[in-house]
Amino acid sequence: MQNQAKNKKTAESTFYNHPIWFYIRHNPRPFVLGMTFLIITNSLDAVYPLVMKTAIDQIEGLVPMTEITRTCLIFLAIMSSLALTRYSWRTYFGKFHTYAAEHIRQKLFNHLTSLGPNFFHKNQVGELMSLLTNDVQSFRQAVGPALLVLADGFIIILVVLPIMISLNWSWTWKTLIFLPMVPLLIWKVMGLINKNYKIQQEKFSELTSLVQETIGGIRVIKGFSQEDHRTAVFNKISASFEHACNKVAKVDSLFMPVMEFGVTSGSVILLFIAKEDLYTGAVTIGTFVAFHRYIQKMVWPMTALGMGFSNFQKGYASFERIKKVLLTESDIYDVGTTVISKFETLEFRNVSFKYKNCEVYALKDISFKLRAGESLGIMGPVGSGKTTLVNLLTRLYPLEEGQILVNGIPIENITLDCLRSLFLLIPQEAFLFSESLKDNVTFGLSEPAHLDTVLRMADVVDLTDEINALPLKFDSQLGERGVNLSGGQKQRLTIARGLIMQTPVLILDDSLSAVDTRTEKAIENELAKTTATFSRIIVAHRLSSLKTVDHLLILKDGHKEAWGTYEEVLQSSPTFQKIIHFQGTETHSEQ
């Protein structure tokens, strides 16, 4: 057990410090096979100019035709093998880097789902999308193509250079004299590329954020006739993205000419230095042709080194960004071990809470106690802390001051799974997924639900007729965020999604605003079936939703203004009196 934990820790540390080594160890087969085929390919590739040299020399020397034919056959065999080995290394390397990219993407996504809302307040959707797409892609480039071209470049140098030296040492050093300058130029160009690439990435993530927000808020944008303004903002960012891309392309384009000039200058030098030897016949035309071919072959390794290093740096910069998110710990620690089978009491003891980077308390010194079977209504003006209170109870945010106790046990000591199986929060904002209606209702269930249960839930929230009117009924697909439903339908569907979970305590955060009194009663009856001691916590602005609750908690600016029965709070809470006054007047005027 201890060994296992130690191995896991070592693997984690390898992943963060030497990611490429981590992937080689975790998926050695495609890497080793890819590398083997690459070495074979480069060796064969290096041999064929020698075969060509032999053929030319044989033709010049007027050797028997059979010998030339044999050389041609060897040439054919080398070229066919080359095609095969080239195909093989590409396939194996492809497998290797695709595995690495998918592994890191899944790791990142899993980690993101474990983080609390505080993290998502700080990081925009666009940035996170860019992390999961661009950064993963550029990491894949480093683990795959960049690593590959680097290896390719080194192997070619290692194979070609000795052959060149063996052909003619003096030609070798004279023609490759400019070679040491190349890495220097590479670093210069690389620095420029990376700097501009970073700007390009930032612009891209700005662009993605804007697109996300615009599509998400398209109804608001249209409602306020802001299409033109939005388009103008988009075009502006898009133009700056184009500018950034052009800058990257400009410095990227410097790369090849610099490389090629550095190395092909060798061809010119070769002509100068070889002309006399060729005249006198000291060297054969075959040797000259082969040597020239080798000089050409050195262009790629030099370019490969440059490209490989550049992509490697880009990939590592991306990995650093991914690593930063992966190392961000959730502020909701799931270290509690207590499991509660039966809910008895809920107690808030002097709970105060401030949002991160906020000076003002969203909740201040809140205390109350609720027993199983009792219901609680929470009222208060906009921004008085109602949602904050229920979010704290379900541990969406970490509690720093005071205590929340369930059956006398602090919620931090209870496992998160257990806590969320006791309390189910139906949030203020109805969020549906682009799946079928049935999948949305049964979203939280670990086992597939019987259709009868789903039908009953739809009945409770009074959606049966509407769902039956759809061509595919419960199998009807919802658009993104449930766009093809009305606001009220969405709200009712989220209530059905909560009810089906049959938790001992159901929390409705302003979810009843689109529900009439008859449906409210049906929901109450449904809850009563779940358990004899079910509890409800209802956050509402409407008095009618809170008529039957046992306790009322009135919040004002994060403080507890009053607690008690309807009559008690009516006596002590000016806020409640005001609500009664306005809502009573409205009811009056309606009549």
Q: Which residues bind ligand ATP (CB under 6 A)?
A: 121, 355, 358, 362, 380, 382-388, 428, 510
Residue 382 interacting partner from ligand ATP, Mg ion, none (CB closer than 5 to 8 Å by kind): ligand ATP
Measured between alpha carbons, how far is 30 from 143 in angstroms, rounded to an integer?
A: 13
Count of residues that interact with Mg ion, criterion CB under 5 A: 3
Shortest distance, position 213 Cβ to ligand ATP, whole Å:
17
Residue closer to ligand ATP by CB (options 169, 582) is 582
Measured between alpha carbons, how far is 504 from 420 in angstroms, rounded to an integer?
A: 10
Residue closer to ligand ATP by CB (options 98, 428) is 428
Q: List alpha helices for 281-342, DSSP H.
A: 285-297, 299-326
Region binding Mg ion by CB under 5 A among candidate stretches 45-53, 304-312, 403-411, 424-432: 424-432
Region binding Mg ion by CB under 5 A among candidate stretches 58-66, 380-388, 495-503, 547-555: 380-388
3-state secondary structure 433-454: CCCEHHHHHCCCCCCCCCHHHH
Shortest distance, position 389 Cβ to ligand ATP, whole Å:
7
Q: List alpha helices for 353-410, DSSP H.
A: 386-393
Shortest distance, position 391 Cβ to ligand ATP, whole Å:
7
Residue closer to ligand ATP by CB (options 286, 380) is 380
Shortest distance, position 411 Cβ to ligand ATP, whole Å:
18
Residue closer to Mg ion by CB (options 123, 428) is 428
Q: List alpha helices for 329-450, DSSP H.
A: 386-393, 416-422, 437-441
C-alpha distances (whole Å) from 571 to each of 543, 557, 576, 578 are 16, 19, 9, 12
Shortest distance, position 362 Cβ to ligand ATP, whole Å:
4
Give, in degrees to the nearest 5, the angle at Cα 395 between 392 and 401.
Answer: 55
Residue closer to ligand ATP by CB (options 24, 540) is 540
C-alpha distances (whole Å) from 195 to each of 188, 198, 248 are 11, 5, 9
**426, 506 contact by CB (below 8 A):** yes
Q: List alpha helices for 115-180, DSSP H.
A: 117-122, 125-130, 136-141, 147-167, 169-175
Residue closer to ligand ATP by CB (options 371, 541) is 541
Q: Which amino acid is at 13?
A: S
Shortest distance, position 557 Cβ to ligand ATP, whole Å:
8
Bridge-based pairing state of the strands 551-556 and 559-564: antiparallel
Token pair for 230: 């939005």
Shortest distance, position 569 Cβ to Mg ion, whole Å:
19
Residue closer to ligand ATP by CB (options 71, 394) is 394
Residue 383 interacting partner from Mg ion, ligand ATP, none (CB closer than 5 to 8 Å by kind): ligand ATP
Q: Is 352 left (phi over 0), alpha (psi -120 to 50) or beta?
A: beta
Tell me which residues in 51-80 interact with Mg ion (CB under 5 A).
Answer: none
Residue 358 interacting partner from Mg ion, ligand ATP, none (CB closer than 5 to 8 Å by kind): ligand ATP
β-sheet bridge partners, residue 376: 537, 551
Residue 335 interacting partner from ligand ATP, Mg ion, none (CB closer than 5 to 8 Å by kind): none
Residue 5 interacting partner from ligand ATP, Mg ion, none (CB closer than 5 to 8 Å by kind): none
> Closest Cα partner for 386 from 504, 240, 537?
537
Token pair for 13: 């540390």
Q: Which residue is nearest to Mg ion (CB)?
A: 387
Q: Does 387 bind Mg ion (CB under 5 A)?
A: yes
Residue closer to ligand ATP by CB (options 360, 532) is 360
Residue 380 interacting partner from Mg ion, ligand ATP, none (CB closer than 5 to 8 Å by kind): ligand ATP
Shortest distance, position 210 Cβ to ligand ATP, whole Å:
21
Residue closer to ligand ATP by CB (options 509, 526) is 509
Say whether 555 sits in a helix, a strand or coil. strand
Shortest distance, position 380 Cβ to ligand ATP, whole Å:
6
Measured between alpha carbons, how far is 237 from 242 in angstroms, rounded to an integer?
A: 9
Q: What one-character-per-residue DSSP string does 72-92 give? A: HHHHHHHHHHHHHHHHHHHHH
Residues that bind Mg ion (CB under 5 A): 386-387, 428
